[in-house]
Structures are given as structure tokens and as C-alpha cells.
Amino acid sequence: MSRTIEGTPYWKRPWRMGGAWRMGRRAFVTGAGMTAASLALGSCGDDDNGANKPDAAQTAPAAKTEPKKGGTLTAGIGATGLHYDQHQLPGIAGDGLVYNQLLKLAAGQKVVADLAEKWESPEPNVYVFHLRPGVKFQNVAPVSGRPLVAEDVVYTVDRSRTNNPAFSNGWMWTSLTSLQATDTSTVKATFASPFAPALFHFAAGSMGVIAKEVVDKFGDLKDAKSRIGTGPFILKEARKDEVVRHTRNPDYFDAKLPYLDGTEGLVIPDRLSRIVALRTGQIDMIGWQNGVTDLEEAKRGMSGVTVETRPNDAPTVLAFNHTSKPLGDERVRKAISLAVDHQALIRAAGGDNAGTVVGMVHPTGAPFALPPAELAELTKPDLVEAKRLLSEAGQDAGFSVALTITSTDAIGIDVASVLQQQLQKIGIKVTLDLQEFATYVRKLTTKAFELIWVGSWTAALDPGQQYHGSLRPGAAQNWWGANVPEVGVLDDKQLAEMDNEKRAKIIQDLERLNFQKVVALPLYAINGWTAWKNYVKDFDHLQAFNALGWENSLIWLDK
Amino acid sequence: MTASRVLLAEGAWEATPPGRAGRFGRTLRRMPITGLVGGVALAIFVLAAVLAPVISPYNPNEGDTLQRLMAPSQAHLFGTDQVGRDIFSRILWGARYTLGASLAVVVLSAILATSVAVISGYLGGKVDLVIQRIVDGWIAFPAFVLLIALISMLGPSLRNVIVVMSITMAGGMSRILRANVIVVKEAPYIELARVVGAGSVRIMFRHILPQIIPLVLILASVQMGGVVLALASLGFLGFGVPPPTPEWGSMLSGRARDFIYSAYWLALFPGLAITLTVLSLNLFFDSVRDVIDPRMRGTGRR
């Protein structure tokens, strides 16, 4: 969703900076399963906190306040990540505090410059990126502040597509035929054919540019000490499930930034405790929280705090192990999808406004997403047809199946219990298989599951990503063993289509195909909230989840 | 009268009680009012647990999301939870899991503790030395930490919770029982039994075990309140029976706390159920213990 200036309170209006309009609010997101230092920015959301309602009497814009330097921003986060290797974490994982990418994502899924100052496309399948001058790695051994060179970008991409099941982002580069440093500051990427998602992939949060000597020293990037990049903050300390601290990088290529002296991610596993910590001033902000059940609690008794809601970029998905019987049968999967009452699941997640019925393409990905009316039709329950399909598939007597879900996903567990009841009506007995996160990931990536709850499917970099990266036959993240050839055919078409309008139509066809074949079943996109103290300035909660907090350098504290 | 009755050591249990009905009646008459109140309350909980399938107005695992977070009313005595399930029904069914699991835990831990105590106490010597060093470590390890660690390894299920809790609780009980076994084994009738050719196994089962059974019953019953609390704590921490099983502790955790201000009934009723159950168990069995064995007054507590 986009915001307009009209109707926006004066303290939230954007200001002109360097000739470009910037959004007035910045966002900070901590992602589960990603390093605690990754903070994301959000997108437009309705302001439903009474304290934040615009004052109609305010007509004159406020004088622009110069950002103040100094201070440490403390955020309450749920957990630290599994480890720090961005290429070996499921989904898109990275760190916008420590790393820069070649390009980056701004609000509205817009690709903007980062390490690449400018780029051009001399041919539809070729991109040439020109690195900005004067960028250095952080002054931490083994890179010790050396200049960034084009070869570092090449190394980063090559490493991300290591031929190893543990490396989860290789799917982004399957059609990249060559990536070369034509000189120390120029990178040329050649794809096998016109590749519509190319720029989005270079902007992926997991494409933070790394140095080879760091990997050589540490073996991989799992150790927090190996998190060394060119970004505005240096990782100073990381204690698993306790705290993550960063200090400002004095050699950052933009000398004005960052404004903060440092950031601190304090692990407070319990959500209510995080709210209390914000209320009592122990922390300055809480990054995006999945679900709105505690939204009222988050607003209660908070003075000098802004609370904003926004939908998750990533849908909650019920995934099937296509290699297991009888889920490998399309009729069984279709029967399951017809037994699901999506609106009831949304209510279970927190009420009628707790989420939105979506396809794999989030509605904010318009025009690529299906229209809401069509989505409503495609997701209408039909128990009679569901039973008929099960009977046709030889499952009249029903069957038992286990649904794997992370034990920490309290909302997901509640919603899954409602799903259990819904599937019980067509004779499918679902048992909840609760697993702690590391075991859940292992089960996911080794196909040791029957049904699996993906509470937050990867937020899309690019509209067709869900199909290209996870649902087409042979995709690198096709952990479910899905093998629907038609998905591959349509995916090839959308990848090669550079015209957005035509591409949108193909992706919509993919969505329709998915609802027909039920490769994976998107259930809803849940709403969530973010809260921060009013003295935390220029915090934009609207940035895409995949941006992973690069705008932290723009945050400053007015205290 | 048999030789064993003639040679009873002072303070030992009577070998021939006056009759079960008579003893029960005597116990009741001698019980303080608090014990009786506890007993009545416990009887109500047990009855509710047993009759839950009959008296529960709704299926405890099925809810209507359109009726979520309804306050207590005639239709839903204790209100509904965040997914529309009737809380009163879940409390009734939760009693089955809580009381049933607690009973299973005390029975299993009593069997384990008694076995360890009798073998160790009777055989003595190196066997006793080795076993008691193991028991030392067993008791020294923080019980709750051990519980959580083992359940994390084995996975949360009712069976695993019962087994793991039984093992962790048996250590302390075995130490108390062993002391009693050592006293009993010095009794002259035990020596007599050996003289006439009874083997160790026969002596342990036929002569020693019956003497310590009353103590086992008292210790086990007194522990029950603690077991209920431990089960609820495990559920609260997410290590109990998996959802959507209506277990009181897990009903209290997580989501109930999200709604603590807007829907207090989600936490109130499971909390009350746990409190009243533990209180009634403690009141009743403490009184029973005091009546049956005044020497045990003030001992055997958690």
C-alpha cells in the first residue's frame, strides 16, 4: 500500500534529502530465524493507535529537525538466529546493519542503489553494475578496512550458489551464466535469457557482500565473528539468545551515517515481557510482531510510544510432502484445501482483522496478485466436493497425518488446532507435531514431515519468487518434493517476460494453477504491529521485510 | 498369632489391621475439619474428572471462532477461549489429564522408589553403597531442570511426561523408604526367616515390603499435590502434553497471558482449578498422614 502526503500528520511527512523524497518513518524489524541484528522496515499501515491520530488543527508543517548524532538504540527481540551464515539459512536471511548489497529494496518493493552506484542493461539479459567509489570493508581482521572491489561481489554471488543442499539461495541464480569483474569497480552479469527478477535478486537481503578472506579464516560464516561487511554498523558482540550489539562503523562510505553510536538487540523471548520492557523504558522499540492479539496490550499504558500495524509480507502456508502418501495425490490436497475455512483461521489468529486471505503472491504485490474477489471464490470451502475427491482418491475412511509446527508459534498452534477441527469434518485426523525451531528446520529441509506449517513463508523479493524458488519442480527450496510440470512451464514464461503487465498476467495464472493443483496452500497473511518510543526518529516500519534493516543508519534519537 | 506378630519391634506396623472399613471410619473420625473439606473438594474434582465425558457441555477441543473470547455466561459458564472453545469443558477434561497423570506419576515413582529402597536397604554392603551414590546424584540434580531436559530430548507427550516425572520424583522417596527398610530388616523375625531358609527375594517381598507399604502410601499421597503443580508448571512452560489437549498448565500459558487484561477468564479458571486441586490434595492427605502416623508429622513434605 502507498501513502500520500495529504492527510499525513506533519511529524510524519517525508523530507527532501539529497534531491530524493524519503519516507518520513523508518522501520526496524527483527526476523525470527535471522540474525538478531537484522532489523526491517515496514510499509504503510493504518494508524489505529488513538494517540497517533493526526490533529486536524495542525496545518503548518514543522521545521525540519536536523538528526542528532549519538546514542544507542535498544530493541527487544524474540531470539537470536540459528547462526550467522546468510547463505545457509532457510529463506532470505541477512543483515542490513553489517552488510551492504549491490542493490537494496526500498518501500513498495522498489530496487534502489546500494554498493552499485548506477547500472545499465545494454541487452535484455545483461546488467552492468558500477560500484560506488571509496567503499571499504570494516576495520576488523582479516579484511582490516581494505577497499571493496568488484571481485567481492562476484565471490558473494558464487558462494551463495554453492552446490550444497545447505546453501539455500542458489535458486536465485539458476539462469545466471556469467558474473565477472570487468575491472575493480565494475561487475557484469549475464543471464541465459531475459530474467525479470534479476535486479530483485541482487537486492536480496542474503546478498550482503562478503570478503573471501573472511570465509577462508572462519571456514564458513556461522560464527558471529565472521559477520564483517561494509555496512554502517560493526557487530561487536553476539551472545546467543541473550544480546546482540553493534557499534557505528567510523569508515562507512557515507560519512554522515550512521547517526547512532550503536544498536543493541536485547533478547526478551516473551512478547508480554517485551511490551512491559518498552512501557518501563528498558528498551526503545519492539520490531515487527507477528499477530495482533496483544495489540491492545501493546497500546495500553504507553505514553510517548507509537504503535503501528501492517500486514506480513509473507503468507502463512500449509505445505504438503508430495512424496508421502496420500498427500502426493492432487485430489487429496485439493480435498484438504476445500475443507479449509480461511476466515475462521484468521479469526483464530486474532479476530476478523487479524489477517487477509491471500495467494502465494501477497496483495501488496499488485498487479501480480489475484483480485480479492477471485481469491474469495478460489478459497471458498466445499465439504461435499472435498469428501467426493477423497472418495475418488480411495480415502473414504479418512487417514491420519502429522502436522509439524514450531513449538514457539503460539498463534500458529491455535490456528492449527482450528485446522484440525476443519479437516476432521472430512475424516482426516491431524496430530500436531510440535518441534523446536532447529528440529523444525531440519525436518523441513530433509522432508521428514507429512504436513508442515510454514508460519511465515519467505517474503517475496520479486512477485514470482514463491514459484521460482520453492514450488516449481527441481527448485532449490522445493523441500516438499512438489512435481507439477505445469508450474515449471508457467514459471519459465514469467521469468522471461520483461513487460510487467504481461508478467503480471502469467503470475496470476500461476496463482490459479496453484489453487487448482494445491502445490502448497496459502492460508492467510497475518497482520502484526511495531512499537517504538517517539524519540526514535526516522524509523520507517513500512520497508519490505527483505530489506532487513538497511535503513537503521538513518535512525536517530531525539533525546 | 504368628511369630512375626509376637516379635514385632516397637513402633512397627501392626501385621493384622482391624479391618479396612473400620480403619477408614476411624481415620475419618479423627481427621480435622480442614482435611474433611479437602477430601470433599477432592472428591468433587475426581467425580468431575470421571464424569467429564458425560457432563461436559461441549467438546473441549472444538470451538467456534465466531464465539471466541466470550465472557462467562449461561451458554458458556467459564467463557470461551481465543479460538472459541468452551473453557468449562476444557477444565473438566483437563481434570482427567491432571489427576490421571498425577496418579500415574505417584504410582510409578512409588514402585521405582520402593524397589530401589528395598534392594539397597536390605542387601546393604557394596550394593547399597553403589546404589546410594547414584541416588545422591539423582537427588542432587535440580529436579525441574532434569525434567525439562529429558522432556526436550524425548518430546512432549503424556507418556513421556509421566515417565520422566516418575523417575525424577522417585529419588527422594527412595531415601526415606530405605531408612525404614534398614530398621525393619533388623527385626528378629527377619533373622528367623533367614534361619528357616528363606531367600533374600522372599524376605524382601514377603516380610519387608508389607512393612513399608503404609509409609509408601503416605509419602506418595502427600506428593500428589506437588505432582499436580509440577505437571501444570511443565504445561505452562510448554513441556507438557501437546495442544490442543486441555491441560490446565498449558491453558494458563502463552495465549492466556496475551489476553490477561481483555479476557481474564482464560487464565482465571485454569489457575483456580490448579490452586484448588493442589490445596485440597494437600489438606486431605496431610490430615490422613497426621492421623495414621503422627510420627510423620512435619516430614515427607516437598
Contacts of B86 (CB under 8 A, 6+ apart): B57, B58, B60, B63, B76, B78, B80
Looking at the complex, report in whole angstroms how far the Cα of residue B252 sits from the nearest Cα belonging to chain A. Answer: 13
Please give the backbone phi and psi of residue A72, each rounded to the nearest 5 degrees, phi first: -120, 130
Residue A249 vs residues A39, A145, A492: alpha-carbon distances, Å: 17, 10, 42
Taking the Cβ of residue B255 and every Cβ of chain A, the question of whether any pair is shorter than 8 Å is answered with: yes
Cβ-based contacts of B82 with chain A (< 8 Å): 293, 348, 350, 414
> Residue A171's pLDDT is what?
78
pLDDT band at A194 (very low <50, low <70, confident <90, very high): very high
* pLDDT tops 70 at residue B299: no
A208 in any annotated domain: no
Phi-psi region of A220 (alpha: psi -120 to 50; beta: other; left: phi over 0): beta
Chain A residues whose CB is inside 8 A of the B261 CB are 296-297, 300
Instruction: Count how many domains chain A has.
Output: 1
pLDDT at B15 over 70: no
Grid cell in block for residue A222: 556461522
Cβ-defined contact of A421 to B152 (cutoff 8 Å): no
The nearest alpha carbon in chain A to B260 belongs to: A297
Residue A489 to residue A472: CA distance in whole angstroms: 9
Residue A297 lies in a domain: no
Answer whether residue A419 is part of any domain: yes
Q: Is-above-0.80 flag for pTM?
A: no
Is residue A480 over pLDDT 50? Answer: yes
Give contacts of B152 with chain A, Cβ < 8 Å: 436
Q: Per-residue pLDDT for A508 more than 90?
A: yes
Asked if B261 lies within 8 A of A300 by C-beta distance, the reply is yes
* Structure confidence by residue, pLDDT tens digits, B114-154: 999 999 999 999 999 999 999 998 888 887 788 888 877 88
Decide if B271 touches A, using CB distance below 8 A: no
Nearest to A407 among B66, B238, B262 (CB): B238
Cβ contact A410–B255 (<8 Å): yes
Judged against a pLDDT cut of 90, whether residue A74 lies above it is answered with: yes
Identify the pLDDT of residue A216.
95
Q: Give pLDDT, residue A500.
A: 83
Which positions in chain B touch A436 (Cβ < 8 Å)?
152
B47-63 pLDDT, tens digit each: 999 999 999 999 999 99
A317 - beta bridge partners?
A454, A522
Q: Which domains occur in chain B, in start order?
A: 31-57+74-296 (1.10.3720.10)
3 state DSSP class of A127? strand
pLDDT at A68: 92
pLDDT at A23 over 60: no
More confident residue, A45 or A430: A430
Report, as an integer, the average pLDDT of A424-444: 91
- Average pLDDT for chain A: 84
What is the rounded CA–CA span in Å between residue B297 and residue B280? 18
Between positions 132 and 151 of B, the ones with CB within 8 A of A are: none
Is the link from the previous residue into A367 a cis peptide, with omega within 30 of 0? Answer: yes
* Domain harbouring A508, CATH code: 3.10.105.10
Let me know if residue A391 belongs to a domain: yes
Tell whether the model's pLDDT for residue A20 goes beyond 70.
no
Phi, psi of B104 (to 5 degrees): -60, -40
DSSP states of A47-116: ---GGGPPPTT--SPPPPPPPPP--EEEEEES---S-S-GGGSSSS---TTT---SEEEETTTEEEESSE
Q: Per the CB < 8 Å rule, is A297 touching B61?
A: no
Q: So what's the pLDDT on residue A94?
A: 64
The larger pLDDT score, comparing residue A550 to residue A46, is at A550
Q: Regarding predicted confidence, which is higher, A354 or A20?
A: A354
A391/A398 Cα distance (integer angstroms)? 9
In this prediction, residue A545 carries a pLDDT of 58
CB contact under 8 A, A293 and B65: no
On the question of pLDDT at A3 being above 60, the answer is no
Give the pLDDT score at A308.
92
Q: Do B244 and A432 touch (CB under 8 A)?
A: yes
Identify the weakest region by mean pLDDT among A78-92, A414-428, B78-92, B276-290: A78-92
pLDDT score for A11: 41
Number of cross-chain residue pairs from A and B with Cβ atoms under 8 Å apart: 61
Confidence at residue B113, expressed as pLDDT on a 0 to 100 scale: 94
Q: What is the pLDDT of residue B235?
A: 78
Contact B156, B240 (CB under 8 A): yes
Give the integer Cα–Cα distance in Å for A172 and A462: 11
Question: A175-189, A238-252, A452-466, B115-129 — which is least confidently predicted?
Answer: A452-466
| Domain encompassing residue A352 | 316-527
User: Which three cell numbers mark A196?
Assistant: 525479470
Q: What is the mean pLDDT of residues A271-278?
A: 92
Average pLDDT over residues A300-310: 89
**According to the model, what pLDDT value does residue A364 have?**
64
* pLDDT over threshold 80, residue B294: no
Higher pLDDT, A251 or A12: A251
**Closest CA of chain A from B62, distance in Å:** 6
Best B61, B83, B161 residue to mutate vs chain A (most A CBs within 10 Å): B83
pLDDT of A182? 96
The closest CB to that of B258, out of A272, A344, A436, belongs to A272
Q: Confirm whether A376 is domain-assigned.
A: yes
Buried residues in A469-508 as b, exposed as e (16+ CB within 10 A): bbbbbebbbbbbebebebbbebbebbbbbeeeeebbebbb
Give me the phi and psi of B248, to 5 degrees please. -60, -40
Read off the pLDDT band of A24 (50, 70, 90): very low
Which residues from chain B sit within 8 angstroms of residue A355, using beta carbons? none
Residue A189, pLDDT score:
97
Bin A312: left if φ > 0, else alpha if -120 < ψ < 50, else beta.
Answer: beta
Mean pLDDT rounded to a whole number for chain B: 84
Residue A377 lies in a domain: yes
Which range has the worst mean pLDDT, A229-233, B42-46, B256-260?
A: B256-260
Give the least confident one: A59-63, A485-489, B177-181, B228-232.
Answer: A59-63
d(CA A410, nearest CA chain B) in Å: 7
Predicted pLDDT of residue A531: 94
A300 and B62 in contact by Cβ < 8 A?
A: no
B176-192 pLDDT, tens digit each: 999 999 999 998 888 88
- Closest Cα in chain A to B62: A421
Interface of B with A in 180-209 (CB under 8 A): none
Query: How far is residue B72's CA from residue B80's CA, in Å, rounded to a whole number?
Result: 7
Which chain B residues are within 8 Å of A413, Cβ to Cβ? 243
pLDDT of A45 reads 34
- The answer to whether the CB atoms of A348 and B82 lie below 8 A apart is yes
User: In the prediction, which pLDDT does B125 show?
Assistant: 92
Residue of B nearest to A407 (CA): B238
A422 min Cα distance to partner chain B (Å): 10
Of B82, B242, B243, the CB nearest to A293: B82
Interface test with A, best of B61, B255, B258 (most A CBs within 10 A): B258
Q: Which residues of B touch A271 (CB under 8 A)?
A: 258
| pLDDT more than 90, % of chain A | 58
A13's grid cell: 511527512
Mark yes or no for CB contact B83/A297 under 8 Å: no
Residue A6 grid coordinates: 495529504
The three-class DSSP label of residue A452 is strand
Residue A340, in any domain of the structure: yes
Query: DSSP label at A234?
Result: E
With respect to residue A490, please indicate whether it lies within any of the assigned structural domains: yes
> Which of A414, A415, A437 has the highest number of chain B CBs within 10 A, making it the mutation to test binding with B?
A414
Q: Is residue B83 less than 8 Å (CB to CB) from chain A?
A: yes
How far is Cα A535 from Cα A558, in angstroms, rounded to an integer? Answer: 5
* A266 strand-pairing partners: A76, A243
Q: Are A532 and A285 in contact (CB under 8 A)?
A: yes
Residue B272 has pLDDT above 60, yes or no: yes
Task: State the average pLDDT over residues A181-200.
Answer: 94
**pLDDT exceeds cutoff 70 at A470:** yes
* pLDDT above 90 for A230: yes
CB contact (8 A) between residue A348 and residue B83: yes
Cβ of B258 within 8 Å of Cβ of A293? The answer is yes
Residue B61 near chain A (CB below 8 Å): yes
Which of the four pLDDT bands, split at 50, 70 and 90, describes residue A303? confident
* β-bridge pairing A451-454 and A72-77: unpaired
Reported confidence tier of residue A394, pLDDT bands at 50, 70, 90: very high
Q: Please compute the mean of the pLDDT values over residues A283-304 and round it to a whole number.
A: 87
Nearest CA to CA, how far is A541 from chain B (Å)? 23
Tell me the HSE value of A348 on the side-chain side, using a 13 A CA sphere: 28
Query: Cβ distance B67 to B131 under 8 Å?
Result: no
Nearest CA in chain A to B241: A434
Q: From the list B243, B260, B261, which residue is nearest A432 (CB)? A: B243
Q: Grid coordinates in use for A180?
A: 565477472
What contacts A276, CB < 8 A, 6 or more positions away?
none
Question: Looking at A189-193, A301-305, A420-424, A545-549, which range is the least confident one?
Answer: A545-549
CB contact under 8 A, A414 and B255: yes
**B66 touching A, CB under 8 A?**
yes
pLDDT (average), residues A12-32 = 38
Gap between the Cα atoms of A452 and A402, Å rounded? 8
More confident residue, B21 or B217: B217
**Given an 8 Å threshold on Cβ–Cβ distance, is B242 in contact with A432?**
yes
